[in-house]
Amino acid sequence: MATLLHLDSAVFPQGSTSREVTAAFVTAWREQHPDGQVVYRDLAADPLPHLDATAVAAGAEDALRGQLAAELAAADAVLIGAPMYNFSIPSTLKAWLDQVIIVGHNAGPDSPVAGTPVTVVASRGGSYAPGTPREDFEFVQNYLEKVLTGMLGAEVDFIVPELTLAHSKPEMAELIPLADASRTQAFTDATEKAKALAARLAA
């Protein structure tokens, strides 16, 4: 029985592109794993506390950190909704990372998370792709790639819906066709990646 750990971090419960795309991924996942388990954390609705000195000193012996690390280690795959806020990830997602990454326990060459596939839906209101004027402001994919791969040894893949603000900002009106195409592609990618990952884990 496959287990998917699903994290959402968008502050808006409705109308969030990252939430909508992760939901599409989960729907496709459940179709392939009807008897599987989805462990869900809404980091915006139920935020974790910031790391403090006591929790750092306790490491995996801290009750919350131990629970979060166990959830991550038990997952066959991980799905993260990570919208861009002020060029980076939501603070609630950063809090989860700080709590769950424990040096000497799951961070390092012998990490129990090594090889675990992690799909990140990295939505953003504009475009920060290579070659765009703001590519140097992209601190979502760059950061998560380094942390999840470099510290935990996870296998990270991204779905990137761009230009999500095009319909609400008049100055971006000419970008609406590109925004719609990016949104459509994100949903297609979510479904296809979920099905491919499910088939891989079942093999």
pLDDT digits (tens, 9 = 90+) for 54-93: 999 999 999 999 999 999 999 999 999 999 999 999 999 9
Interatomic CA distance for residues 4 and 74, integer angstroms: 9
Residue 119 is assigned to a ligand binding site = no
At residue 108, the pLDDT reads: 85
The structure tokens 């991204």 sit at 158
Strand duo 117-121 + 155-159: pairing: parallel
Share of the chain above pLDDT 70, in %: 100
Q: Is the pLDDT of residue 197 over 80?
A: yes
Residue 106 is assigned to a ligand binding site = no
Residue 143 is assigned to a ligand binding site = no
At residue 19, the pLDDT reads: 98
- State both tokens at 46: 């139920």
At residue 104, the pLDDT reads: 87
Question: Could you tell me the pLDDT band of residue 202, with boundaries at 50, 70 and 90?
Answer: confident
At residue 126, the pLDDT reads: 95
Residue 1 is assigned to a ligand binding site = no
Residue 126 is assigned to a ligand binding site = yes
- Report the run of H or E that residue 55 belongs to, with start and end: helix 53-58
Residue 18 is assigned to a ligand binding site = yes
Question: Hey, what CATH topology would domain 3-202 get?
Answer: Rossmann fold (3.40.50)
Question: Could you tell me the pLDDT band of residue 117, with boundaries at 50, 70 and 90?
Answer: very high
